[in-house]
Amino acid sequence: MVQLQDLKYLTVKAVQAFKRNGINTVFDLLYHYPTRYNDYTITPISEAELNKTVTIAGIVTSKPNVAMVKNNLSVMNFFADIDGEKVRVTIFNRHFLRTKIHYGKYVRLTGKFDGRYNKFIAAEITFDEYGTAINPVFNIKGIDDKKVLEIKERIFYEYGDKLKEDLPEDLRQEYNLISIKEAIRSINIPETMDETLSAIYRIKFEELLKYQLKVKYLMYMRKEHPEGIVINYDKEKVDSFISSLTFTLTDDQNTCLKEILNDLSSSYKMNRLLQGEVGSGKTVISAIALYAVCTAGYQGAIMVPTEVLAQQHYATFQNLFKGFNINVALLSASVTQKERKTILEDLESGKIDIIIGTHSLFQKDVIFNSLGLVVTDEEHRFGVRQRVSMVGKGYLIDHLKMSATPIPRTLAISYLGDSDISTIRTQPGNKKTVITKYIDYNKRFEVFDHIRKQVEEGRQVYIITPMIEESQALDLKNALDVYENTKNYYKDFKVGLIHGKLKTEEKEAVMQAFASGEIQILVSTSVIEVGVNVINATTIVILDADRFGIAQLHQMRGRVQRSDYQSYCFLISKSTVETSVKRLQLVEEINDGFTLAEEDLLIRGPGDIFGEKQSGFIDFKMANVVLDKDILEKADIAADNIIFSKKLFNNPEYKNLLELVHNNYVLTKENLE
């Protein structure tokens, strides 16, 4: 690898400037891309629009007239013949160029033309008839762009032939991709914008293809090299468990369950996402899967992001497994040391069949007797570290991830490329769509009347207080204020309060009181956002709704989706910020989580949706999974085809790509062990 410092024609200063920017070798430099391009392509003066920056060219036809304003500020005027028009050119603070401007001199000017007076205000002036029209902006501190371009030209001339082509000829033909050499040249040393765009396309395609190949290869190796546990579940027992349910499964649930059971009984490791909105019936599917695992003599674990949810699942599971001889345990943060010790012993001896808990489940001292399936609920809420340690319990253990956060297709292609996906689209029962209204703060009293009516009809209500990001103390104060006001306003109703500062037992007690109908109005911070299940609650009021993201709003609305009664969601906001208003309008109009998620993605970008924890995961030098989703979709198809046609393995032209994905695979596998 040739180091820049070994090139005699580079000054020490230049080498150091490159180094400071992380550019050490000739290839680093060639693969360092411009951040943008200034287009100095010449426009005929007849096509120059008012107030639009254009580049024009012509011949100087007068002496310059310079007026010094003060210090070094100056105005210079001269005339030029541009495409046969006499144009008066004005340029500021370039008096030092006055000697270059004389009759017959070629000038190229970038600026704005006012055709009404044939006046051109120039921002830039050059005299070089043969300079390139597209100027790349490299943004390398310490060296100006012109110099960088010169150096790149020379280095490309000397080393361009050594650039490694990773994309085979047949692939490039199929997808209309120029060669790497051509692409690197056009990106760094551009001639026309069209050519540069083809080069950018090729580089983006390559980045996305390589990424897709890596994730698809993980999937391929997982399926083609089975080393997972085969769960020989007892079909009869599973069927009788299903018939013990008080309802019949929906078509979607049946399809998803079949896919999951198929994974379990196969010899490859399951890596499946079960997605469906809150209330679509995922939990019951996971319970069936866990039960299936138990019938084969294995243990199951279900990991949830919050204590409240753990408690809720525990209650649900105990209920579901009544009479099925399944020992369900809850490893909560609030158990005593003694209880914890007993649970851990029973888990290790195999006495416990199914364990439910938060990330505390995957601490070092938690030892399973024969773990067969891990279910994670709302997996993306766990930090990367927690997930790695969880999978670390056995990287061959089947893993079912559940999510109520609909993942837009574009993101699913990239983030979840190595997962299989099962989707529950329809809600069980014939539940009515939630009526959502975005209400201006000044009209909030209409909502208060609605609440009163609902409660008088026997229904229950959630009031969600805003999240204050800067301060948990403010969050709490806010919740307390809203609670006091609500109590005073509805003197005849019972109002409860739940917030993050409460102890687990306290939260539990309030939730219990709400679930049993003892409390009619529950004021809550967003801590209980996920999965809480109170069928009689028909109205959710979200105060200062603009403080929440689309996904969160939709998630919270899901809490009243479960009712057989008509239910309502009110988004109350004072905000006039355009993007906030837009967000609230979208939630008001769109009920389908998948459609909302696509919209959300466009507004916020992927980093925000998955939290900053994961945003670095998918950083490309050029491509962007959201903005380049058309290229991503093509690259995804190409990756599929390359792997599943086995070209990757059999065709020597694909050697570089195979090496790349295999190195990545080995790395990943080690990480998981």
Shortest reach from residue 558's CB to ligand ADP, in Å: 8
- Name the binder of 247 from ligand ADP, Mg ion, none, CB < 5-8 A by kind: ligand ADP
Whole-number Å distance between alpha carbons of 426 and 251: 9
- The set of residues, in sequence order, having a beta carbon less than 8 Å from that of 81 and lying 6+ positions away, is 58, 59, 61, 87
Residue 278 makes contact with ligand ADP by CB under 6 A: yes
- The set of residues, in sequence order, having a beta carbon less than 8 Å from that of 327 and lying 6+ positions away, is 346, 351, 352, 353, 354
Shortest reach from residue 650's CB to ligand ADP, in Å: 43
What three-state secondary structure class fits 2? coil
Shortest reach from residue 421's CB to Mg ion, in Å: 17
Based on CB atoms, which residue is closest to ligand ADP, 350 or 428? 428
Site string for ligand ADP, 581-620 (x = CB under 6 A): ----------------------------------------
Site string for Mg ion, 278-297 (x = CB under 5 A): -----x--------------
What three-state secondary structure class fits 207? helix
Residue 265 phi, psi (nearest 5): -80, -5
Whole-number Å distance between alpha carbons of 56 and 125: 10
Residue 422 makes contact with ligand ADP by CB under 6 A: no
Burial class of 150 by CB neighbour count within 10 A (0 to 12, 13 to 18, 19+): middle
Shortest reach from residue 269's CB to Mg ion, in Å: 23
Residue 281 makes contact with ligand ADP by CB under 6 A: yes
- Name the binder of 253 from Mg ion, ligand ADP, none, CB < 5-8 A by kind: ligand ADP
- Name the binder of 281 from Mg ion, ligand ADP, none, CB < 5-8 A by kind: ligand ADP
Under 8 Å between Cβ of 107 and 80:
yes
Under 8 Å between Cβ of 272 and 420:
yes
Under 8 Å between Cβ of 440 and 573:
yes
Question: Restricting to residues 504-563, which ones interact with Mg ion according to CB under 5 A?
Answer: 531
Outline where 490-566 has alpha helix (H).
Answer: 504-515, 550-557
* Interface with ligand ADP (CB under 6 A), residue from 111, 160, 190, 279: 279
Question: Restricting to residues 532-571, which ones interact with ligand ADP according to CB under 6 A?
Answer: 533, 562
- Name the binder of 507 from Mg ion, ligand ADP, none, CB < 5-8 A by kind: none
Under 8 Å between Cβ of 399 and 377:
no
Q: How many CB atoms lie within 10 A of CB 396?
A: 17
Based on CB atoms, which residue is closest to ligand ADP, 554 or 562? 562
Shortest reach from residue 527's CB to Mg ion, in Å: 16
Instruction: Name the one residue in this structure whose structure tokens are 């309060």.
Output: 497
Residue 428 makes contact with ligand ADP by CB under 6 A: yes
* Interface with ligand ADP (CB under 6 A), residue from 283, 465, 539, 552: 283
- The set of residues, in sequence order, having a beta carbon less than 8 Å from that of 624 and lying 6+ positions away, is none
- Name the binder of 478 from Mg ion, ligand ADP, none, CB < 5-8 A by kind: none
Based on CB atoms, which residue is closest to ligand ADP, 155 or 434? 434
- Name the binder of 500 from Mg ion, ligand ADP, none, CB < 5-8 A by kind: none
Shortest reach from residue 276's CB to ligand ADP, in Å: 5
- Name the binder of 279 from Mg ion, ligand ADP, none, CB < 5-8 A by kind: ligand ADP
Whole-number Å distance between alpha carbons of 598 and 601: 5
Q: Beginning with the edge strand found earlier in the chain, give each strand of the sheet holding 435-440 in spatial order.
A: 435-440, 568-573, 537-542, 460-464, 521-524, 495-498
Based on CB atoms, which residue is closest to ligand ADP, 220 or 314? 314
Task: Return the range that interacts with ligand ADP (CB under 6 A); candidates 32-40, 280-288, 566-574, 593-601.
Answer: 280-288
Whole-number Å distance between alpha carbons of 271 and 113: 61
Outline where 245-361 has alpha helix (H).
Answer: 251-265, 282-295, 307-320, 337-349
Whole-number Å distance between alpha carbons of 632 and 205: 7
DSSP states along 122-168: EEEEE--TTS-SEEEE---TTS-HHHHHHHHHHHHHHHGGG----S-
Task: Return the range that interacts with ligand ADP (CB under 6 A); candidates 99-107, 195-203, 244-252, 502-510.
Answer: 244-252
Based on CB atoms, which residue is closest to ligand ADP, 246 or 488? 246
Shortest reach from residue 531's CB to Mg ion, in Å: 4
Based on CB atoms, which residue is closest to ligand ADP, 301 or 625? 301
Shortest reach from residue 21's CB to ligand ADP, in Å: 49
Whole-number Å distance between alpha carbons of 573 and 570: 10
Residue 276 makes contact with ligand ADP by CB under 6 A: yes
Residue 271 makes contact with Mg ion by CB under 5 A: no
Based on CB atoms, which residue is closest to ligand ADP, 426 or 595? 426
Helix or strand run (H / E) with residue 437: strand 435-440
One-letter identity of residue 262: N
Task: Return the range that interacts with ligand ADP (CB under 6 A); candidates 32-40, 243-251, 484-492, 658-666.
Answer: 243-251
- Name the binder of 392 from Mg ion, ligand ADP, none, CB < 5-8 A by kind: none
Based on CB atoms, which residue is closest to ligand ADP, 53 or 533? 533
Based on CB atoms, which residue is closest to Mg ion, 60 or 309? 309
652 token code pair:
């020597």
Task: Return the range that interacts with ligand ADP (CB under 6 A); candidates 219-227, 282-290, 360-368, 620-628.
Answer: 282-290
Residue 531 makes contact with ligand ADP by CB under 6 A: yes
CA 400 to chain centre: 20
Under 8 Å between Cβ of 623 and 204:
yes
- The set of residues, in sequence order, having a beta carbon less than 8 Å from that of 487 and lying 6+ positions away, is 495
- Name the binder of 136 from Mg ion, ligand ADP, none, CB < 5-8 A by kind: none
* Interface with ligand ADP (CB under 6 A), residue from 107, 183, 249, 289: 249
* Interface with ligand ADP (CB under 6 A), residue from 96, 157, 247, 649: 247
Whole-number Å distance between alpha carbons of 667 and 513: 50
Residue 253 makes contact with ligand ADP by CB under 6 A: yes
Whole-number Å distance between alpha carbons of 481 and 477: 6
Q: What is the Cβ-side half-sphere exposure of residue 657, based on CA atoms within 13 angstroms? A: 31
Task: Return the range that interacts with ligand ADP (CB under 6 A); candidates 153-161, 273-281, 366-374, 379-387.
Answer: 273-281
- Name the binder of 34 from ligand ADP, Mg ion, none, CB < 5-8 A by kind: none
What three-state secondary structure class fits 233? coil
For ligand ADP, the binding residues (CB under 6 A) are 247, 249-250, 253, 276, 278-284, 428-429, 531, 533, 562
For Mg ion, the binding residues (CB under 5 A) are 283, 531
